[in-house]
A and B are shown apart, each in its own frame.
Chain A
Amino acid sequence: MTTAKTPTCLEVDGDNAASALQGACEKLESGDELTLDFSWVVRVDPGALRTLEALAQAAAERTAKITLRGVNVEVYKVLKLARLASRFSFES
């Protein structure tokens, strides 16, 4: 029997997106439902993008669900170009 977990929401700091994502990645457990608030992120750097890729990988392995909230269109396009957009859910 599995117990549903309470969805967690984490705000991603625009200036320290990579470290915030790294922290989320490390804590991610099986069955988690994690929402990352990107409202303050205007641009992603290579480190953040790599961590997002690792996060997507970890989520897939642990059947966790990650939702990105408030992603601006510029960042969304970067995720599309990096072929990462299809690996997350999005909400505005």
Chain B
Amino acid sequence: MPDNGAPLSEERIAYLENLVSQARTAAAIFSQCTQADVDRIVKPMVLAGLEKAQYLARLAIEETRIGVLEDKAIKNMVATEFVYNYVKDKPTVGVIREDSERGLIELAEPIGVIFSLTPITNPTSTVLFKCIMAIKTRNAVIFSPHPKAWRCCSEAVKIMYETAVKNGAPEGVFTCLESHTLEDNAYLMHHKDVGLIDATGGPGAVKAAYSSGKPALGVGPGNTPVYLEKTADLDMAVVDIITSKTFDNGTICASEQTVVIDDEVYDRVLKKFAELGTHICDEKETELLGHTVIDPATGFMQPMAIGQKAADIARFIGMKVKPNTKLLIAPIQGVGREHPLSVEKLFPVLAVYRAKSVDEALKVCVDVNHAGGLGHTAVIFSNNDAIVRQFGNMINAGRIIVNSPGSIGALGGVYNDMVPTFSFGCGTGGGNSTTDNVNVYHYLNIKRMARRTPAHMWFRVPNQIYFNMNAVENLRNFPSRSTVIISNPPLEQIGHVDVVRRSLPAQTQVRVTIIPDAEPDIKIIAQGVEALNFYKADQIIALGGGSVIDAAKIMKLKYESPQADLEELAAPFLDIRKRVVQYPTEKINHSRLIAISTTSGTGSEVTPFAVMTDKERGIKVTLADYSLTPDVAIVDPQFVMSMPKGLTVDTGVDCLTHALEAGVSIYASAFTDSNAMQAVRLVFKYLPEAYENPRDEEARTMMHNAACIAAIAFSNASVGVNHALAHAFGARFGVAHGRANALMLPHVIAYNASVPTKFMPNPNQRAYVAHKKYAMIADLLGLGGHTIEEKVAKLVAATEELLDRLAVPRSIAELGISKQEFERAMPDLAKNAFDDPSWRSNPRMPLISELVELYWSAYRGRGISQPKSAPKPEKVEEAYV
């Protein structure tokens, strides 16, 4: 090799630059070709390669003095015919794959100029293979053959080039360095116009390629362990190993290196090897081989032995064998430097090891694998599938060949359906970026065009909702053997439980479980589940406000699926469809849950949420899943006619907040909007009436309906930042949820109606429309105003007016919370509000600083008239996009 280590002369640089320029121009021209164009070029190239297979094999043998003529001819045929068979129908230009359901398209982009190093062991076959791949992918290649295989390689390049150009490939598409030094290679490896280095060769070439900083396919040495397990077809295994290890005199780097044989069959296997023309070495011969064909200084094989015949190697080192000996088999006692033959040997010398057990055999294979073979190839002969799989798990190899020859098996397409190749990716174990059999797809930049996938939306509500006065009478339509009514003491005392009991069919066995009038805890849930089990309930009726209905939802869950882990089910999630923890679907009991609400706010009778208290940890646990949604909801205003004023206000404002937040949610749809808007209208009209005239049946009915309708909206569109702020504030200062919502509401409307600092990254948000949605609500309420800005301002004012009329505190200061106390609480408030999942559907993504600002606005109270930096006025109709 003409390598004097001197810097490149100007002439030499000009020569190399010219090569790159030619290749670059060819690649540019080539980029215009269609799939039909390249396919028209590839086929004649393949035919030319087949026609010249023997000729090129002969050239290779004459020049390199390595390998077997017939095998090299076969390799040339595999590199053309088998590779063509794989690539001929593969799209490699334009759209190469399309998944219309997922909106994904893959497009091929050529790499441009590839700098390719080819080896001495498989010279012409590697060139043929790479030329076909390059043309199929519209790339230009500059070849740098191994110096001792230059003539045969350049002839192979010439044959491929002339055929390609004759059939339409651009001039300059393949070039071959006329001679080269390591400096030439280094220059080209670092050239800015070289897109990829494809280095097939020794460790030095591969290391240089990877060290260049360029994208590289570096495919280097291996050390193939073989496990010959006792259940294997021994005759087949022996023939396969001989076939493979003697193929081209063992020059394929995937060929077998050490065969680990089970003790039970070891003698039989060696006898079979001996019968088929191999020589089994004795201890002295093994030692002789070990320090002659392996370099004692480096521990690597001696180049002089590579690709030589077994008999020639034996003769060369002074070992007597029969003239036609195919293979030298050397028993070894271990793996490592003290067992020199345990390394890669690209010649027909095979190490064998006698293993006393499967465990020992696998360990020795792992040792061989780690002695220079990581990521490359491994072979197992066995009919025990469990052992085959265990071998696969233990060995780090890109190709694990089962019951077939390693070298030809790894090439792919002959003994198996792997991709045909002459470059074996060895993964990170071999310092490579891939474990694949290198193929056309590694010669492409694959571009993925991803269309926006419209998020699948849903609208889920209970199967049946009965509403208006005396709706409870519909209970008679639900036959049951055993019904358990869950309620709380006040509702039992005022006779509501009896009303329900009377409405059930006469034959129903009815039991009543009374739970405290507070958020349920795990103990209450457990007691309820015990009752449901004791009575073998097939129907559960929850009569109460949110706490009772939530308790009943959780009791039903644990009753039907006792294995449900509530703590785990409460795990946070971003998208309910992609949640990590799934709710149980296996049930040991089946029951119907009928929810009868006795407040007009939470809408728990139709929601998929349930909240419980974990007293031990001092936290609230929120469960959310559509399986929690009651089967039947009864919205009967007779149960709210006696609701106290304070509760009327708290629940009513909660209902309004649900509706307004669902209306501007990024998950809002026409389905949820119809409910959200109607609920807002009903609240503005009937909440003051229900508050001022509690016995007004129409007002109570409409507010009770409004709560349910708003809950239907937020069950499907979720809520927003108002709830996040209220949850954190209410928990910290013990303020009722509705009142906490009321304190935030006008400020949040103004906040959401102004141009977001950050948009929510969500495919549902096709445009920012919150301000238009608020304006639409203002129109629905008949508030007037001409521009969106005016309408939003009027909605804020109307909300403030409503809250004033309901006499709710209008500032946090009014609650008696000092500024200092609030200031001290602020870091926790902001943190907890930001951690609250409620805002994930808000039209603005809140910054923590904005949450702080909102809290301070709520602290000060009134004074909102115009949203800051409101968007320019537009038409309200554009709220739907």
Task: Specify which chain B residues have a CB less than 8 angstroms from the CB of A15 in the assembled complex.
Answer: none
Residues of B within 8 A of A77 (CB): 31
* Cβ–Cβ < 8 Å partners of A83 in chain B: 24, 193
Closest B residue by C-beta to A75: B32
Residues of A within 8 A of B32 (CB): 43-44, 74, 78
Measured in the bound complex, the distance between the Cα atoms of B170 and A44 in whole Å is 11
Q: Does B208 contact A (CB under 8 A)?
A: no
> Which parts of B161-194 form the interface with A (CB within 8 Å)?
170-172, 193
Which parts of B1-38 form the interface with A (CB within 8 Å)?
A: 24-29, 31-32
* Residues from 517 to 570 in B contacting A, C-beta threshold 8 Å: none
Contact residues in A for B26 (Cβ distance below 8 Å): 46
Q: Which residues of B contact A53 (CB under 8 A)?
A: 25
Q: What sequence of 0s and 1s flags, for each residue 4-45 of chain A, a beta carbon within 8 Å of any chain B beta carbon?
A: 000000000000000000000000000000000000000111
Q: How far, in angstroms, from A77 to B30 measured CA to CA in the complex?
A: 11
CB distance from B192 to the nearest CB of A (A): 10
Across the interface, do B172 and A81 meet the contact criterion of CB distance under 8 Å?
Answer: no
User: A54 interface residue, CB < 8 Å from B?
Assistant: no
- Footprint of B on A, CB under 8 Å? 43-46, 49-50, 53, 74, 77-79, 81-83
Q: Roughly how many angstroms separate A46 CA and B27 CA in the complex, as a whole number? A: 10
Does any Cβ of A come within 8 Å of B112's Cβ?
A: yes
Residues of A with C-beta under 8 A to B25: 46, 49-50, 53, 82
CB pair A46–B31 under 8 Å, yes or no, is no
Chain B residues, CB < 8 A from A45: 29, 170
Asked if B24 contacts A46 (CB within 8 A), the reply is no
A82 touches B24 (CB 8 A): yes
Give the interface centre of A45, A78, A81, A83 by most chain B CB atoms within 10 Å: A81
Q: How far is the CB of A18 from chain B (nearest CB, A)?
A: 12
What are 17 residue pairs bridging A and B, where the CB atoms are less than 8 Å apart in the complex? A45-B170, A46-B29, A46-B170, A46-B172, A49-B29, A50-B25, A53-B25, A74-B32, A78-B29, A78-B31, A79-B28, A81-B28, A81-B112, A82-B24, A82-B25, A83-B24, A83-B193
Question: Which residues of the partner chain A approach B172 to less than 8 Å between Cβ atoms?
Answer: 46
Please give me the residue from chain A that is nearest to B32 by CB atom.
A43
Q: Which residue of B lies closest to A81 (CB)?
A: B28
Complex Cα gap A77–B33 (Å): 13
Give the Cβ gap from B114 to chain A, nearest Cβ, in Å.
14
User: In the complex the two chains form, is A44's CB within 8 Å of B29's CB?
Assistant: yes
Given contacts A46-B29, A78-B28, A79-B28, 18 further A-B contacts (CB under 8 A): A45-B29, A45-B170, A46-B25, A46-B170, A46-B171, A49-B25, A49-B29, A53-B25, A74-B32, A77-B31, A78-B31, A78-B32, A81-B24, A81-B27, A81-B28, A81-B112, A82-B25, A83-B193
What B residues does A46 contact at CB under 8 A? 25-26, 29, 170-172
**A46 and B32 alpha carbons, distance in the complex (Å):** 11
The answer for the CA separation of A78 and B138 in the assembled complex, in Å, is: 13
Nearest CB of chain B from residue A43's CB, rounded to whole Å: 5
- Tell me the bound Cα distance from A50 to B24 in angstroms: 12
Closest-by-CB residue of A relative to B112 is A81
**Taking each of B25, B171, B172, B193, which has the highest tally of chain A beta carbons within 10 Å of its own beta carbon?**
B25
In the A-B complex, the 5 residue pairs with the closest CB atoms: A81-B28, A82-B28, A78-B28, A46-B170, A43-B32
B21 to A: closest C-beta gap in Å: 9
Report the bound CA distance from A57 to B193 in whole Å. 20
CB of A76 to closest CB in B, whole Å: 11
Cβ of A42 to closest chain B Cβ, rounded Å:
9
Q: What residues on B are CB-neighbors of A50 within 8 Å?
A: 25
Bound complex: CA of A5 vs CA of B27, how far in Å?
37
Shortest Cβ gap from B38 to chain A (Å) = 15
Most chain A CB atoms below 10 A, which of B24, B32, B112, B171: B32
Bound form: Cα–Cα A43–B29 in Å = 9
Q: How far is the CA of A43 from the CA of B32 in the complex (A)?
A: 7
Nearest CB on A from B31, distance (A) = 6
**Shortest Cβ gap from B337 to chain A (Å):** 51
Least Cβ–Cβ distance between B108 and chain A, in angstroms? 14
B172's nearest neighbour on chain A, judged by CB, is A46
A83 to B193, CA, bound (A): 10
Closest to A79 in B: B28
Residues of chain B lying within 8 A (CB to CB) of residue A78: 28-29, 31-32
User: A43 — which chain B residues lie within 8 A by C-beta?
Assistant: 32
Q: How far is the CA of A81 from the CA of B29 in the complex (A)?
A: 9
Tell me the minimal C-beta distance from A32 to chain B in angstroms.
25
Roughly how many angstroms separate A53 CA and B193 CA in the complex, as a whole number?
Answer: 17
A10 to B584, CA, bound (A): 76
Cα A43 to Cα B24 with chains together (Å): 17
CA distance A78 to B32 in the complex (A): 8
* Complex alpha-carbon distance, A77 and B138, angstroms: 14
Q: How far is the CA of A44 from the CA of B26 in the complex (A)?
A: 11
Query: Nearest Cβ distance between residue B423 and chain A, in whole angstroms?
Result: 25
Closest residue of chain A to B113 (Cβ to Cβ) is A81
Closest CB of chain B to A78's CB: distance in Å? Answer: 5
Residue of B nearest to A78 (CB): B28
Taking CB atoms, residues of chain A closer than 8 Å to B28 are 49, 78-79, 81-82
Q: Which residues of A contact B112 (CB under 8 A)?
A: 81
Q: How far is the CA of A81 from the CA of B20 in the complex (A)?
A: 13
Q: Which residue of chain A has its CB nearest to the CB of B27?
A: A81
Query: Which residues of A lie under 8 Å from residue B171 when comparing CB positions?
Result: 46
| A78 to B33 CA separation, bound complex (whole angstroms) | 11
A78 to B26, CA, bound (A): 10
A78–B30 Cα gap in the complex (Å)?
9
Residues of A within 8 A of B24 (CB): 81-83
How far is B29's CA from A34's CA once the two chains are assembled, in angstroms? 24
Bound-state Cα–Cα, A81 to B193, Å: 10
User: Would you give the shortest CB distance from B165 to chain A, in whole angstroms?
Assistant: 10
Q: Please give me the residue from chain B that is nearest to A84 by CB atom.
A: B28
Give the shortest distance, in Å, between A44 (CB) and chain B (any CB): 7
Contact residues in B for A49 (Cβ distance below 8 Å): 25, 28-29
CA separation between A50 and B29, bound complex, in Å? Answer: 11
Residues 308-334 (chain B) with a chain A CB within 8 angstroms: none
Nearest CB of A to B506, in Å: 81
In the assembly, what is the distance between CA of A53 and CA of B112, in Å?
Answer: 18
Q: Which residue of A lies closest to B24 (CB)?
A: A82
> Which residue of A has the minimal Cβ distance to B165?
A46
Bound Cα distance from A85 to B28, whole angstroms: 12
Considering only CB atoms, which chain B residue lies closest to A47 in the complex? B171
> Whole-angstrom distance between the alpha carbons of A30 and B99 in the complex?
56
Q: Tell me the complex Cα distance, A77–B27, Å.
A: 11
Most buried by A among B29, B31, B171: B29
Chain B residue at minimum C-beta to C-beta distance from A74:
B32
Bound complex: CA of A74 vs CA of B33, how far in Å?
A: 11
- The complex places the Cα of A49 from the Cα of B32 at a distance, in Å, of 13
Least Cβ distance of B404 to chain A in Å? 43
Decide if A81 touches B170 in the complex (CB within 8 Å).
no
Q: For the complex, give the distance between the alpha carbons of A46 and B29 in Å.
A: 6
Question: Which partner residue on chain B sits nearest A42 by CB separation?
Answer: B32
Please, which residues of chain B bring their CB within 8 A of the CB of A74?
32
- Bound form: Cα–Cα A79–B32 in Å: 11
- CA separation between A61 and B170, bound complex, in Å? 28
Q: B27 contacts which chain A residues (CB < 8 A)?
A: 81
Provide the bound-state CA to CA distance between A74 and B30, in Å: 12
A74 to B27, CA, bound (A): 14
A25–B193 alpha-carbon span in the complex (Å):
27
Report the Cα distance A44→B193, complex, angstroms.
20
Distance from B644 Cβ to chain A, minimum over Cβ atoms (Å): 72
- The complex places the Cα of A37 from the Cα of B199 at a distance, in Å, of 44
Name the A residues within 8 Å of B29 (CB-CB): 44-46, 49, 78, 82
| Distance of A10 Cα from B27 Cα, bound (Å) | 28
How many Å lie between the Cα of A78 and that of B31 in the bound state? 7
* Binary contact readout B764-786 vs A (1 if CB under 8 angstroms, 0 otherwise): 00000000000000000000000
